[in-house]
Structure formats: C-alpha cells, structure tokens
Structure 1
Amino acid sequence: MASHEVNGAVLAGLRAGFAGELITPGDPSYDEHRSVFNAMIDRRPAVIACCTTAEDIGRAVRWAREEGLEIAVRGGGHGVAGTAVNDGGLVVDLRRMNGATVDPESRTARVGGGATMGDLDRAAGAHGLATTGGRVSTTGVGGYTLGGGSGWLERKYGLTCENLLEVELVTAAGETVRASGAENPELFWALHGGGGNFGVVTSFTFRLHELPAFSFGLLLWRPEAGPEVMRAYRDFMAAAPDEVGGALLYLTGPPEEFVPAHLRDRMACACLITYAGPVARAREVIAPMLRLGHEGELIADMPYADFQCMLDDPPGYRNYWSAEYLAELPDRAVDAFCVRAGDMVVPSPSQHLLLPQGGALARGAANYPVPWRSAPWAVHPLGLWEDPADDARARQWARDLRADMRPWSIGAVNLNFIGDEGGERVVAGVGADNHARLAAVKAAYDPDNVFRGNHNIGSGRAA
C-alpha cells in the first residue's frame, strides 16, 4: 500500500453502505477536496470521506481505525494550522452536512457539523435573529464553536459556546452521543473551548437572539495617526455600550470609492465599529471617533449576514496568525503596537488587529475552559501573503508583535486564533486547571487519542 493510496479491495470495506462519496487520489475532484484556505498547507490524504449522515461518520471512523489510518476532521477547513487534512490518512469531510434549521418561536437553530457561519447567519437572519458568529462568513461553525467562538456580537450576546444548547457527536468508538446541560454534562462542558478532541460533531443547537438591525462604521486615517487614534479608541471602548463591537487595525487600503486615493493599496490605520442596532443610533454612539479627523469613511445599515460576507478572507493566500491577550493597554503598549505595524507584509490582505472584549463576554460563566475571556483586549496579527519568499518575514512579524505585548499579557490565548505553537500554548488556551479536567473527559471519550489533529489535549495514552 503506497503512502497516499488505499487498496481498492480494502476501500470496498468502507464503500459498502456508505451514503456519501469517497474521494481518493486520481479522482478529478481530489485536489479541490484536499485544499484548504491556507495556501501554505499541501497535504495528500489517502481517502476523503464526504459524509452525509452520522452513520457515515461512524463507519468512516471505525474503518480508519481498523486500517490504522490517521483521522482528520474537516468542517469549514478554516483552521490556520491546516489540521482539517492530513498526509496518507482519512479525512472525515462534513461539508455536505451543512443544513441550518431555525425555529423562530423558540429562537433556536439546529446546525449541521459542516455548516459555515454564512449558513447559520443567513438562516437566522431570515427571521431577524442571530447569535455570536465568526468574523467572516466562511468560518466553519464546528471548530469555531468548539474553540469558544469569538465574534463581533460577543459583547452583546456572549461567546458562541455560551449560546450552545445541545451537541450531537460521533465518538472515537463510532458511536453517536448527545451532550447538553442535562445529558453527558461533563462532555458538554468540555465542548465549550476544548476543541475537536472528543468526537466529530454532527449537529449543534444554538440559542438565537433578536437582531432586527445591524450597522457599522469603517473609518480610515494615515498610518502615522495610529497612536492618537488608538488612544482615543481605548477610551471610547471603556465607556461603550454592549451593542458596540469592532476592532482597531492597520490594513492595506482597499480600492474602494470611500477610500482616498492616497490610502489605496497602502497601509492605513482603520477603526471598524459594529453596532447591534440602527445606523442612526450608531452615529450617535460613535460620535467621539468621528471627531478625530478621519480621511475615509463608510457608515451604513447592513444585514448582519451581508456584513459578514464583506469581510471574508480572500482564498489562495498563505496564512500565519497568532494572538496575545492583554490585562491593560497603557500608552507604551499603544506605541509598541503601532510601531510594529510597519513590519506587516504589504500590500496584502494582512491585518494588524486590536480587538476589544468586555461586555457580556467578561460577565459570562467563568467555569468554561476559555480563560482568555477575562482580558479587556486581544492583539491578533493576521498575516496573509502570496510569495513564499515572505514566509519568514510574515511569521517573524507575528511573533515580534506577541513579544512586544507580552509585558501586559494575561498568558491565556484563544486557540482559534493561532496555529501550532506547542503544548504550552494549548494549556494557556484552556487554563491549567481546566486542562487536567479536559484530559479526564478525553480519556473517557477518546482514550487512544484518535482525534489528535487539533490543539490536542491528549489522554495519557498513545494512539
């Protein structure tokens, strides 16, 4: 058996009774199915199992274990480390399980494990409802939610995982179980930040909230205005209502009509302010930021789902991300953040982000394994570039920004925002005490660490 091929007779054991589609090297759609959004990832699995039912997933998991194949799980494929695919193993591809059904009376949504945030946002938005979602529509609901789920609406509605009511998943034994506050509660707790360590999620049930109006403002300045703007933004967010979200960022000015010619395709300092309400009220709330002499602006009402699509990560770029969570944002941190923006790989879609937290996010349940929620600020270098020759420079920029911010760091990190940065960062992502508890849940549901293509908790036993 070649490293990236499975004998046809062996594959027949999986094909029998499999309702979805099995894709192997040589199939016309193989390269399309193995590709993920991060162009740095180039892996060649032996089998891609495009599942359509929980039974398909259970069959695929059991078969791969019998054949000694490593298993990867693909939802949206948006994780920057590229663990949604592997070399020579089996990929459980959930993308055909992407339904999103909304009950407007109970204000809940049942969402397939392969859905993207766009699928959920559109279904909920049709009823004037929403829940906290990823900051782009292409984010997979699965990995995003299991990592905690941070988004524009978190200051108003809390983390996505806090709006999770029930989960159905397939375990490492290929069995389907449900988890909620009343059923398998310890597993349910682990799914609030512990990632994909415990099984393959086939469906999520979420609590939804009324969101009849959504608006935003995007303001642009020359990069040298950054320190002044960032200090003003820091003070603005300290008094902002929960309806306000957004980011302070450096980016490449897009070639849009609202962008002055001198900022197009060049670095700009930007302030994105989201508002869970109508634009007239948003203008009143953001008035302090409008007095800073910005040079470009776009302020508008927009359906939340459309806004999410507006920010989608462009495909085909190489990606490297990281993050640091801050206990405070003194002037020294502001200055260091702004100076480091000069090391961005530009022009490119890279972003040098400062994200405000607080609001409902800070007031949420403290016992979930998401210790980063307590920080008032998150710094998030989001690198996207095309030329492999820029790989080292882009990685170093992200690492240097983290180092600059470390004096004010709380030590915790959102694992959805980083790639593979080692075991210590995994512990930092869930908290040391929580890590031990998560390991016990892992040992109960996946003692052989079958699901290890992730920020791995481990169980004390080798696969």
Structure 2
Amino acid sequence: MSTTTEKKQTIKELGNSLIEEFRSQLKGEIVQASDPEYNEARKVFNGMINKHPGIIVYCEDVADVMACVNFGRENSLLVAIRGGGHNGGGLGICEEGLVIDLSGLKSVRVNLADQTVRVGGGNLWGEVDHATHPFGLAIPAGIISSTGVAGLTLGGGVGHLSRKYGLTIDNLLEADMVLADGSFVTVNKDQNKDLFWAIRGGGGNFGVITSFKFQAHPVSTVIGGPTLWPIEKTDEIMSWYHDFISNAPDDLNGFIATMVIPGPPFPEELHNKMFCGIVWCYTGEPAEFDKLFQEVRDKNPIFEHVGEMPYPAIQTLFDGLFPSGLQWYWRADFFNDFSEEVRAAHLKYGSSIPTPLSQMHLYPITGAASRVGNEDTPWAYRDAKYAGVIVGVSPEPEDAPKITQWCKDYWEALHPYSSGGAYSNFMMEEGQERVQASYKHNYDRLTEIKKTYDPNNLFRVNQNIKPKT
C-alpha cells in the first residue's frame, strides 16, 4: 500500500493495458486526455481552475466508486472526488491523477412518515429542493441551487435556514461511504460513530459519500429578498444589523453584504452602483412579519424587494448571476463582532469593488446553529457570530489578477479582527496552518480518525486533515 511519502504515479505511467482492465470493471464512463470530451469534462464551477487530470470516471453506482478507490490506491494515484464541482479552490479535480465524478449517483427519496430524505452523493441542492418542496419540506442548505449536496454538507452547510434549523450537518442523520481500503460502510449515531462525527464538517477526508440521509423540516413559503443602502451607510447599517440579527427570532435570517448591482433584474438606476445590502429569509407566521420587519424599514433602505415566495425561489435567486465558468477567488474568516475597525474596512473595500459580481457576505451563526456544542461536530466555531467570505468574481480571465488582489487586500485588512479560522467551504488552497486554525481544538481528534480510516492520506485533495503520526 502507498504512503504519503511515496512518489505518486500518473495515469501516463500506468500503461493502456492496466487502464483497459480498469475500464472493464466499471459500469460508468472513463474520459481521458485523448478523448474529444476531455476539455469539457475537466471543467469545474470556478473558471480560474485549469487542472488536467489523467483520467475522469463518471461513476454510476457504488460498485464503480469502490473500483475507483481501489484503482487509485493500488496504483498510488492522486485522487480527487467531484460532487457538484462547486468548490472555490477547485478541490474536486487534480493534476494528472484520478477524478471520481459522482454526478451519476443521483436520487432523492422523501419519506413522509418521518420527514427524512435520502439523497445521492452526486445530487445538486436544486434537485433536492425540487423533490422536497411539493411535500412542504426543506433541508437547510446554502444560497445557490447549483451547489453540490456532498461538498456543502461535508464542510458544514451555512444558508438561509441556519438560524431556524441549524447547519446542514446538524440535519445529517446518516451516510453511506466508501473508505480508503475500498470497503463500504454506513455511518450514523449508532454505527461507526467516530466517522459519523468526522464527516459532519471534516470534509472529504474520510471517504467517498455515496448517499446521505437528512432530516427535513416544514418549510414551504418564505418571505425573503434584498434590502439595499448606499455603500456610504455601511458603518451605520453594520452596527445596527449586529444587534438586530443577534436578537431576532430564529425565524428570521439575513446575511449582510457589500456588493455591486450588476444589472437586471434590478432597476436600471441601481446598476453598477455599490451598496451595503442584506438578503432576508423569514420562515415564521406571515401575519407577524411586518411588525418584526418594521425596524428594518425604519433604517430607510433605498431599495426593498422582500416578499412571499416558495422556498426554492429564494434558493435560486442568484443562480442567474453566477453561472458555471466564471473566474472566482475566495478568502474567508469567522468573526465575533463588528468593531469600528471592521466596519471601516468593509466601507473601504466595499467602496472599491473591482467587478460587478465581486462581493462580501457575512452569514449569521446565531439561533439554532449556535446551540450545538463546539465539540459535537468538527465545526469548531459555533460561538462565532458570523462566517464571512470575500469573493472576487468576473467572466473575464484577464480580470483574475485584480479580483484576486482585491480579495487578498480586503481579507488582510479584516483578518487581525477575526476569530482565526474560516468556514472550510469558503477557502482556497491556503496551507496546513489555515486548515488547523479552522478546526481549532477538534483538529487533533480528526487526525486520529484519519489515521484509523485513511492512514496513507489517499483522500488528500481537499482541506486536508493529515493522519496523526
């Protein structure tokens, strides 16, 4: 068996006969560099990522996944796992190695008896919402429907329903997974408890998840949408928002942003102007909303587009602005408060956004998400108030340097006032020190579990947790 110190092989070094033997074990399709569809197959959501894997396998069932894991391990290949391909750092793909693509493992089954939902490892959240909404149910997830279920879940899962029903991992009941030795296990609160703990925030470090079982909740129609203030009001709005959202009932969620209005569907007079905005989502009694929201309206937003809508509509609100293939650069941190220095940095960099799609978001980690212990899952920042992210975004490759620099400058101005780590789903490849900071006191336990189930670090194209030595 390979070890982390051994030289990794490339597909080119294996020879055609070995690859053909591997192909014969699979139900799914293999794509190699010589195939006409290769350049399309190697694309991920972030157009800034330009990696050239040796082989991509489109798995169709669990047996395919097991064959891929065994092939990668036995031949000392670099192995990447691609669910939705949405990861900012492009960690669903690798150079010259094997990509295990799960997009063929799709199914969503709703069990009305206990309001649970079984979801395939290759599903996107929009597909889950489509299946659950007719039953008046939803699973807490993110804010973009094209996000993959697997990646978002394994990293934690922050979104519109976090204050009401917790993170996605707080609603994960069970998972089926293929381990580094090729074996198949089910993990839940009674079976393989250590692995079940580890995958609820520990990323793809411990195996390939082929299906998830979630607890769903009664969510059908929500009241939501954005309110905007001129960017010059950032200090005032952030100061007010911090107190307001911390004391708001769990039914109300709202993430705050510095942003540019890029164009339609917003009114023309707002286009290409910079704003401090909040995107709201309310799950409570509609009759009580106006009274609760009056304090927001008293802050005199210059634009309000908040109304009743089906839950899948708020999940798709921004899909059209962010199609696959744009240039993305991400930086992130957790924050506990908005000091004067923090507010000043947001005003400064929110006033110099380099492209219309670049923006900063701060997601509240209050309400239900904060009532889980810091050791109950690997997600070690339950006591932080916000998960912050800065994204430089552009359709133009030539904009990559300026959106990257803006992100880095913005982040460096804020980082001294942060909690030290970041939500792993918002991180690029930033080194081992950042990974450890983001798991804090839970990192050591994760390394022990990694040593047990993946001692040679086969699954390392991720925010990597190294096996304990």
Q: How far is 1:212 from its partner?
A: 3.0
Question: What SS does the aligned partner of 1:374 have?
Answer: coil
**2-side partners of 1:339 and 1:192: how far apart?**
36
Further displaced range: 138-147 or 304-313: 304-313
Question: Do the aligned partners of 1:279 and 1:299 also contact (CA within 8 Å) in 2?
Answer: no
2:283 is aligned with 1:276: yes
Please give the residue correspondences for 1:219-230 in structure 2 after superposition, counting only pairs within 5 Å.
Answer: 219-230=227-238
Q: Does 1:155 align with 2:163?
A: yes
Which whole-Å CA distance do the structure 2 matches of 1:135 and 1:2 have between them?
Answer: 37
Residue of 155, 159, 176 corresponding to 1:168? 176
Distance in 1, matches of 2:400 and 2:290, equals 40
Tell me, yes or no, if the aligned pair for 2:165 and 2:368 is still in contact at 8 Å.
Answer: yes
Separation in 2 of the partners of 1:82 and 1:69? 18
Pick one of 182, 196, 209 that aligns with 2:204: 196
Compare 125-134 and 264-273 and name the one that shifted more: 264-273
Name the counterpart of 1:452: 460
Q: Check conservation: 2:198, 2:378, Cα contact below 8 A.
A: yes
Shift of 1:352: 1.6
Superposed displacement of residue 34, structure 1: 1.0
What's the secondary structure of 2:85's corresponding residue? coil
Q: CA deviation at 1:280?
A: 4.8
Instruction: Please list, as runs of the form range in 1=range in 2, the aligned pairs for 1:345-356 lying within 5 A after superposition.
Output: 345-347=354-356, 349-356=357-364
Aligned match for 2:352, one of 343, 355, 363: 343
What is the match of residue 37 of structure 1? 45
Q: Which amino acid aligns with 1:25?
A: A
In 2: Cα distance, 1:183 partner to 1:383 partner? 42
**1: CA distance, partners of 2:140 / 2:270:** 32
Q: Closer, same or farther in 2 for the Cα pair 1:179/1:3, shift >3 Å?
A: closer
Residue 327 of structure 2 is aligned to residue 318 of structure 1:
yes
Q: Letter of the aligned partner of 1:339 in structure 2?
A: K
**CA root-mean-square deviation:** 1.9
Output the amino acid matched with 2:146.
T
Residue 349 of structure 2 aligns to a residue whose secondary structure is: helix
Q: Distance in 1 between matches of 2:343 and 2:72?
A: 50
State the distance in 1 between where 2:435 and 2:38 align. Answer: 32
TM-score, with length taken from structure 1: 0.94
User: 2:403 maps to which residue?
Assistant: 394
Post-superposition offset of 1:214: 1.1
Partner AA of 2:277 in structure 1: A
SS in 1 for 2:221: coil
Structure 2 residues without counterparts, runs of 5 or longer: 1-8
Unaligned runs of at least 5 residues, structure 1: none
Change (3 A) 1:138 1:6: farther
Per-residue deviation, 1:358: 0.7
2:148 and 2:447 map into 1 onto residues whose CA distance is 25
Equivalence map 1:10-49=2 (5 Å)? 10-49=18-57
- Contact 2:178 2:208 (8 Å CA) reproduced: yes
Q: For residues 75-132 of structure 1, give each alpha carbon's deviation from its aligned partner in whole angstroms, at most 9, with x where no partner exists.
A: 0011111121112111100011121111011110111111111122222212111121
Distance, in Å, in 2 between the alignment partners of 1:64 and 1:257 is 46
Q: CA deviation at 1:228?
A: 2.1
CA contact (8 A) 2:258 2:346 kept: no
**Is 1:305 aligned to residue 299 of structure 2?**
no
User: Who is 2:341 aligned against?
Assistant: 332
Is 1:425 the counterpart of 2:434? The answer is yes
Q: 1:60, 1:124 → 2: CA distance?
A: 31
Letter in 2 for 1:192: R
Who is 1:287 aligned against?
294
1:373-395: CA deviations, max 9, x gaps? 21112321122123444333322
In structure 1, what is the Cα distance between the partners aligned to 2:96 and 2:85? 18
Residue identity matched to 1:299: V
Change (3 A) 1:280 1:316: farther
* Distance in 1, Cα, partners of 2:398 & 2:33: 29
Whether contact under 8 Å (2:171, 2:216) holds in the other structure is yes
Q: Is the 8 A contact 1:4 1:87 kept in 2?
A: no
Alignment match of 2:113 (pick from 105, 112, 136)? 105
Would the alpha carbon gap of residues 226 and 288 (structure 1) be closer, same or farther in structure 2, given more than 3 Å must change? same
TM normalised by structure 2 equals: 0.93
Match of 1:124 in 2: 132
> 228-237 or 146-155: which moved more?
228-237
CA contact (8 A) 2:220 2:311 kept: no
User: Using the alignment, how far apart are the partners of 2:10 and 2:385 within structure 1?
Assistant: 51
Tell me which amino acid in the other structure corresponds to 2:189: G
Residue 219 of structure 2: aligned partner: 211
Larger CA deviation: 110-119 vs 10-19: 10-19
Q: Aligned partner of 2:323: which letter?
A: P
Q: Tell me: CA distance 1:407–1:12, structure 2 relative to 1, closer, same or farther (3 Å).
A: closer
**Contact preservation (8 Å) 2:143, 2:314:** no
Identity value in percent:
36
Equivalent-residue separation in structure 2 for 1:428 and 1:127 (angstroms): 40
Say whether residues 1:373 and 2:382 are aligned partners: yes
**Cα distance, 1:439–1:428 mapped onto 2, change above 3 Å:** same
Q: Give the distance between the partners of 2:94 and 2:184, measured in 1 at CA.
A: 24
Separation in 2, partners of 1:413, 1:67: 34
Distance 1:76 1:427 in 2: 25
Task: Report the 3-state secondary structure (helix = DSSP H, G, I; strand = E; otherwise coil) of the residue aligned with 1:196.
Answer: helix
What amino acid is aligned across from residue 80 of structure 2 in structure 1? A
**CA distance in structure 1 between the partners assigned to 2:181 and 2:15 by the alignment:** 24
Deviates more, 1:296-305 or 1:148-157: 296-305
- What residue is the counterpart of 1:410 in the other structure? 419
**What SS does the aligned partner of 2:144 have?**
coil
**SS in structure 1 opposite 2:305?**
strand
SS of the residue 1:73 aligns to: strand
CA contact (8 A) 1:135 1:308 kept: yes
**Aligned equivalents of 2:22, 2:11: Cα separation in 1:** 18
